[in-house]
Structure 1
Amino acid sequence: MRRSPSPLCWLPVKEEYLPLTQTDVLSARPSFAEKLGIPRPLLWGFVGLLLFMVGDGVEAGYLAPYLENHGMSSRDVAFLFTVYGVAVSLSSWLSGPLSDLWGPKRVMWIGLAIWSVFEVVFLLLGVQVNSYRMMLIAYTLRGLGYPLFAYGFLVWIAAATPPRQLGSAAGWFWFAFSGGLPTLGSLFASFTIPVIGEMATFWSSLGLVVAGGLVALLLTHEKRGSARLAPRDVSVRGIFFGSISILWREPKTFVAMVVRTIDTASEYAFLVIMPSFFTKVVGFTLSQWLQLLSIVFLSNILFNLASGMLADRLGPPHRGFHRGLPLGAAVSVPVFYYRLPLWPITATFFAGPPLAGIFYGGEPCGLSCRCRGLVPQICPPEKAAALSALGLGAGASTWVGPAIVTWFESWHGLEGIIWIFSGLYAFAGLLTLYLSIPEHARDYARKAAAKAKAQRAHGQDIYEGRPALH
């Protein structure tokens, strides 16, 4: 026994436990952030993530119309978004095993560097000189950046958050994630484009991303994020293979991946096809479209946050709430298309169209709500691998949505695409009936809780349910 740095606590010096600091001991007392469901040691990470995603989302609502207005066909734009989405999907999967191998914080640094470097290449050698080839290369490589940063932080949350708080913490993650991409990002662009122009707004996104990345990485000092998460006896091959083999070793993770893909596929498809529809067919100005987009996704993040907190209160048995929302999403997509454009574009713009947008934005969150809290609990010994499956699904949605536009727009038009997504949401709602915590996972959780209780009794760990370092 050796005295820990804190005068309030004694801690056995063992390799698998970190010494407690004064900050660690004080964090045992619930702060205002923790009462909201935000783990206090990760607070600045959430703030930085929000800023990072605001920067990433600045272009979301107007990149497609900008490129089309500069001579690119809608099919080429959809293909650019599709290839970008493939890179996002690959990187989303890699975020889990790389975090296991190197620690989430290092993975986040890599993601920040990739995004920043290839954004400069994309703007200088692609957009400014109107080179489609360079845009395709740079934008695709830039797509590797934000998932490493964002989903690396999600793995960090899963590793450092007690199970009783995980639903709320995940809700705040998606609040920050979607709050930036595209909610506040589009709102930011709607105000800056009329003032500084479209190109300068592209460059401003770089500043926001760098600022957010530095806030998250320099001000967050939670120790688990800087360490390897996988046991030392697990090989690199085992880490990467485990993040793929979990899809068939635990089929529920595969189902969750499919559901997560469908969840936001329509959103990324609409970012490609809806700007032209609303600005050229319906009659919105670009600023009105960007503001509407912000309202749509604001409803999404508020529903996500509220449902995450509700899940922590109600627990897994109350599944009807989450199962009803996906079926509502199947209705919300055609409502968004058929009903919203019927409102006149007048001074009362905000009195009508956002209602259908809010309905559409809020309903699909039932899919991700069902997945995000359950997936880490389905495979508690392999949280990073399970979250990789969820990240793979989230990343896949970024190319599946634009790919559906590429494949089906010329055959069925926008109306056909609307009904394709409506059918997909109904299918995903049925898949959620299969998602539940298996009995072997419940047994593991009970044993882990008993072990944590014994450790606390000996003064070894003040964080309830928090796993020790391997």
Structure 2
Amino acid sequence: MAVVVDPSSSAEETPERHWLDRIGIPRALAWGFLGLLIFMIGDGVESGYLSPYLRDEGMSGERVALLFSVYGATASVAAWFSGALSDLWGPRRVMLLGLGIWVAFQVVFLVFAVPTVNFWLLMLSYGLRGFGYPLFAYGFLIWVTAVTPKRRLGSAVGWFWFAFTGGLPTLGSLVASFAVPWIGAYATLWLSLALVTAGGLIALLLVREPTGRNRLAPAGERPVATLIGSLSIIWRNPKIGTGAVVRAINTAPQFGFLVFLPVFFTDTLGFSLSEWLQLLSAMFATNIFFNLIFGVVGDRVGWQRTVAWFGGVGCAVTTLLLYYGTVAAGDHYALAMVLVSLFGATLAGYVPLSALMPSLDPAHKGQAMSALNLGAGASTFIGPALVGLFLGPLGVQGMMWIFAMLYLASAVMALFLKLPDPVAPGAAGYPSGPGPVARAGARNETDDSPEA
């Protein structure tokens, strides 16, 4: 992906006077952040209860896991395509495509698949709907990176993840916790469609910034070369490939949890569905605020170390605490709230990957971002797939150990993600000024630095 931000642009030099610009939200894209939040709330409504709902409708646990895995596979492909298609068509058109896919296949899912509980129709409609949210959300992320001045890019990306995780699954699960008892599980799925539609229209109709309406790749660049380059960087630069794997491990357990933890918390531990949904909301409400905290921590102690220790090791510990603590205490709501919040906090330890990945290959930052998106999308497939394979023979305890070991493996891999040596300003592939990312990267380059 060839997102180019001209370092000499007027946006880079103009003083930021509006309060939105000062807090890191590009004013021209402000409605987009609101639209993204509402869209992701709608997308996240089902996240905490769709699995037990389908189980109650007669689907086996293995089939539910397979359904979620297919959804994750399509989401993974869409996450990769979001960058390359934004280069070729412009981010706004990619977002429009994502919204259209989501709405169309959600209607098929609700009108034909769910009432009949036809497994193959469920697979087709829900699986194809998986293309929708990554195209919309990550298309907007590309738009943000294309127009935000470098000195504010880290903050703007932070606000993107604030809106993304604020909706999926935090506020989405909270909405479901009140809507399901009030209007029922099936009607709540229609509510999610309304929210997604509203959020998508807000972003697409109210954001007038012109850059996102045009292709971002240089004129004459061939579509096939753009698509291949956004994938081949994974093996051209092994560190980028490793970083993509770390990103996939980051949220794979999260999506795996959504398959079996609802049943574990309600049927085994004795929580009500509303209590489980509130716990899920608390997990990711904590994650939202620690996203900002670990962004600052990463700049001070090092992106690499933050990902390895707070992210990888931290998540391994809190994953096991989440299982053994709740098993020991049963349906103790306050303790469960503490344990899920600890996991949500350590999950944010991976946030510096968003700064680390583009800095691993400064001459191909856009392609590195595509690899990051590919890892994020792959996690939606890997987590449910592992549950489908191992939940039956190993049970919940075995799954928690598998996820904890994956987190430890990601910590080891993160230790190899050392940044390249600094290159003088003006060199090929580098901006004319160091910018905040370069300055942060310089603080993260050496192991013997007190801030590395």
TM (norm. structure 1) is 0.86
Instruction: Please tell me whether residue 358 in structure 1 is matched to residue 341 in structure 2.
Output: yes
Give the match for residue 3 of structure 2.
Answer: none
Q: How does 1:7-406 map to 2 (within 5 A)?
A: 28-311=15-298, 314=300, 317=302, 319-325=304-310, 326-343=312-329, 345=331, 349=333, 351-367=334-350, 369-406=351-388
**Would you say the 8 A contact 1:380–1:444 is kept in 2?**
no
Q: Structure 1 residues 378-387 or 400-409, which shifts more? A: 378-387
CA distance in 2 between counterparts of 1:82 and 1:318 reads 31
The structure-2 alpha-carbon separation of the partners of 1:208 and 1:391, relative to structure 1 and needing over 3 Å to count, comes to: same
Q: Structure 1 residues 317-326 or 402-411, which shifts more? A: 317-326
Q: Shift of the alpha carbon at 1:411?
A: 2.1
Q: Shift of the alpha carbon at 1:18?
A: 12
Give the match for residue 409 of structure 2.
Answer: 427
Residues 195-218 of structure 1, C-alpha deviations (whole Å, 9 max, x = no match): 111111000001100111111111
Unaligned runs of 5+ in 2: 1-5, 440-452
Q: How many pairs align?
A: 431
CA distance in 1 between counterparts of 2:306 and 2:388 reads 34
Residues 124-170 of structure 1, C-alpha deviations (whole Å, 9 max, x = no match): 11002221111110001100010000111111122122333222222
CA distance in 2 between counterparts of 1:309 and 1:44 reads 26
**Could you say what secondary structure the match of 1:438 adopts?**
coil
Residues 2-34 of structure 1, C-alpha deviations (whole Å, 9 max, x = no match): xxxxxxxxxxxxxx99997xxx69973243223
Residues 345-364 of structure 1, C-alpha deviations (whole Å, 9 max, x = no match): 46xx3x32111111111112
**Would you say the 8 A contact 1:167–1:309 is kept in 2?**
no
**Could you say what secondary structure the match of 2:82 adopts?**
helix
CA distance in 2 between counterparts of 1:451 and 1:399 reads 39
- 1:88 partner letter: A
CA distance in 2 between counterparts of 1:155 and 1:113 reads 19
CA distance in 1 between counterparts of 2:427 and 2:9 reads 24
CA distance in 1 between counterparts of 2:181 and 2:33 reads 30
- 2:260 partner letter: I
**Would you say the 8 A contact 2:40–2:172 is kept in 1?**
yes
- 2:408 partner letter: A
CA distance in 2 between counterparts of 1:59 and 1:231 reads 40
The structure-2 alpha-carbon separation of the partners of 1:310 and 1:36, relative to structure 1 and needing over 3 Å to count, comes to: farther
**Would you say the 8 A contact 1:340–1:357 is kept in 2?**
no
Q: How does 1:399-418 map to 2 (within 5 A)?
A: 399-418=381-400
| Structure 1 stretches of 4+ moved >4 Å | 16-20, 24-27, 316-319, 440-449
**Would you say the 8 A contact 1:267–1:401 is kept in 2?**
yes
The structure-2 alpha-carbon separation of the partners of 1:446 and 1:60, relative to structure 1 and needing over 3 Å to count, comes to: same
**Would you say the 8 A contact 2:364–2:429 is kept in 1?**
no
TM (norm. structure 2) is 0.89
Query: CA RMSD of the aligned region, Å?
Result: 2.5
Give the match for residue 5 of structure 1.
Answer: none
Q: Shift of the alpha carbon at 1:426?
A: 0.6
Give the match for residue 449 of structure 2.
Answer: none
Give the match for residue 460 of structure 1.
Answer: none
**Would you say the 8 A contact 1:370–1:432 is kept in 2?**
no
CA distance in 2 between counterparts of 1:442 and 1:323 reads 29
- 2:41 partner letter: V
Residues 355-394 of structure 1, C-alpha deviations (whole Å, 9 max, x = no match): 1111111112212x13111222333443332211111101
CA distance in 1 between counterparts of 2:254 and 2:163 reads 17
Q: Shift of the alpha carbon at 1:436?
A: 3.5
**Would you say the 8 A contact 1:168–1:308 is kept in 2?**
no
The structure-2 alpha-carbon separation of the partners of 1:39 and 1:378, relative to structure 1 and needing over 3 Å to count, comes to: farther
Residues 308-361 of structure 1, C-alpha deviations (whole Å, 9 max, x = no match): 2454x54x8564334321211110101011103433546xx3x32111111111
CA distance in 1 between counterparts of 2:140 and 2:264 reads 35
Unaligned runs of 5+ in 1: 1-15, 454-464, 466-470
**Would you say the 8 A contact 2:24–2:155 is kept in 1?**
yes
Residues 419-443 of structure 1, C-alpha deviations (whole Å, 9 max, x = no match): 1110110110111112243236675
CA distance in 2 between counterparts of 1:26 and 1:18 reads 7
**Could you say what secondary structure the match of 1:279 adopts?**
helix
- 2:406 partner letter: L
Kindly, what percent of the aligned residue pairs are identical?
47
